[in-house]
């Protein structure tokens, strides 16, 4: 309710629960807002560390952007407050946890689950692009799963290594499109590339351009060295979709709204999302 957003929150409004994770700027805790019994994730950032890294403006800008985003597949930022030493972000709690852990556990997803996730992400990105917000950094580490199994772009803040516990740690190049790897300025079509990389990883369990050395990943990306393994068996419709997203010329990538009409998505994605 809009009245609630005007409220000045304080720590005493919350019962603090178990830690959900920790990162460069602070810790995240499960918490319950006392009056409503609403369960949230409370992210605690240390002002000293924010100042040291000169990210206060970035945080202010992000809080501003996030407070206007309302989409079932984008993790909500309900509000924030601060005290002497810390800034607190009141975030939506995704009850089924981190997607990359689920992917590690299953190795790879069924075509139905992969298509359902890709369709949800496409709808969330269409929504963001409509609000001129791009590059939602959609690698598996930044995706959470809600109570009904729905995907949430959790956008962990540009340099917050909160949950990037994957072997290819924070600096993974895997998701960057050619124009970003060649540090050319980028537009919303970067998200189409990243979604294509994600779709491949959902189906095969590894990103398409993975290599031992960064330099090899870099070369495979700029050459779009796309190969489909013979195992697991993946439909040609899925490969066709991925091939239309992982295109070097960003203007030739399949637009997101066309993705939602692609036969593989229409055939396999759960309409519920």
**Catalytic center residues:** 137
CB of 210 to ligand AK6, least distance (A): 24
Q: Among 29, 31, 44, 66, which residue sits at the site for ligand AK6 (rule: CB under 6 A)?
A: 66
Q: Which residues contact 77 (CB under 8 A, 6 or more apart)?
A: 63, 66, 67, 69, 89, 90, 91, 92
The H helix count followed by the E strand count for the chain is: 11, 7
CB of 209 to ligand AK6, least distance (A): 26
Which residues, listed in sequence order, are joined to residue 152 by a DSSP beta bridge? Answer: 144
Nearer to ligand AK6, 23 or 177 (CB): 23
Site residues (CB under 6 A) for ligand AK6, limited to 35-64: 41, 43, 45, 55, 58-59, 62
Nearer to ligand AK6, 98 or 111 (CB): 98
Q: Among 17, 72, 97, 255, which residue sits at the site for ligand AK6 (rule: CB under 6 A)?
A: 97
Residue 98 φ/ψ, nearest 5 degrees: -90, 130
Tell me: does residue 89 bind ligand AK6 (CB under 6 A).
Answer: yes
Any idea what DSSP says for residue 10? -
Tell me: does residue 93 bind ligand AK6 (CB under 6 A).
Answer: yes
Find tokens 């009056």 and name the residue. Answer: 35
Q: What tokens were used for 252?
A: 């030739």
Nearer to ligand AK6, 21 or 255 (CB): 21
Tell me: does residue 234 bind ligand AK6 (CB under 6 A).
Answer: no
Contact status, residue 27 vs residue 44, Cβ threshold 8 Å: yes
Site residues (CB under 6 A) for ligand AK6, limited to 125-154: 144, 154
Q: Which residues contact 172 (CB under 8 A, 6 or more apart)?
A: 139, 164, 166
Any idea what DSSP says for residue 190? H
Tell me: does residue 210 bind ligand AK6 (CB under 6 A).
Answer: no
Q: Among 31, 44, 75, 114, which residue sits at the site for ligand AK6 (rule: CB under 6 A)?
A: 75
Residue with the shortest CB distance to ligand AK6: 157
Stretch that binds ligand AK6, among 1-9, 85-93, 169-177, 210-218 (CB under 6 A): 85-93
Any idea what DSSP says for residue 254? P
38-46/86-92 β-pairing: antiparallel
Tell me: does residue 156 bind ligand AK6 (CB under 6 A).
Answer: yes
Q: Using CA atoms, how far apart are residues 217 and 231, in angstroms rounded to an integer?
A: 21
Q: Using CA atoms, how far apart are residues 267 and 261, in angstroms rounded to an integer?
A: 10
Contact status, residue 203 vs residue 111, Cβ threshold 8 Å: yes
Tell me: does residue 29 bind ligand AK6 (CB under 6 A).
Answer: no
Interface with ligand AK6 (CB under 6 A): 20-21, 25, 28, 41, 43, 45, 55, 58-59, 62, 66, 75, 77, 89, 91, 93-94, 97-98, 144, 154-157, 160, 162
């Amino acid at each position: 309710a809009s009245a609630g957003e005007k409220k000045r929150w304080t720590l005493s409004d919350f019962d603090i629960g178990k830690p959900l994770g920790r990162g460069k700027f602070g810790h995240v805790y499960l918490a319950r807002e006392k009056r409503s019994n609403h369960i949230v994730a409370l992210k605690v950032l240390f002002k000293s560390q924010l100042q040291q890294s000169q990210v206060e403006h970035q945080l202010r800008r992000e809080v501003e952007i996030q407070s206007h985003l309302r989409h079932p597949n984008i993790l909500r930022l309900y509000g924030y407050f601060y005290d002497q030493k810390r800034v607190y972000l009141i975030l939506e709690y995704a009850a089924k946890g981190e997607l990359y852990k689920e992917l590690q556990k299953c190795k790879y997803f069924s075509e139905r689950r992969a298509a359902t996730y890709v369709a949800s992400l496409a709808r969330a990105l269409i929504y963001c692009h409509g609000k001129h917000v791009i590059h939602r950094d959609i690698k598996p580490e930044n995706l959470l799963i809600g109570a009904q199994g729905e995907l949430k772009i959790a956008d962990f803040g540009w340099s917050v290594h909160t949950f990037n516990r994957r072997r290819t740690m924070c600096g993974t190049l895997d998701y960057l499109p050619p124009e970003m790897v060649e540090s050319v300025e980028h537009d919303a079509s970067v998200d189409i590339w990243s979604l294509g990389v994600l779709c491949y990883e959902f189906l095969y369990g590894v990103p398409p351009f993975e290599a031992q050395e960064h330099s090899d990943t870099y070369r495979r990306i700029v050459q779009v060295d796309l190969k489909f393994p013979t195992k697991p068996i993946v439909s040609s419709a899925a490969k066709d979709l991925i091939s239309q997203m992982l295109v070097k010329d960003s203007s030739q990538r399949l637009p997101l709204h066309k993705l939602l009409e692609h036969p593989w998505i229409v055939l396999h994605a759960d309409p519920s999302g």
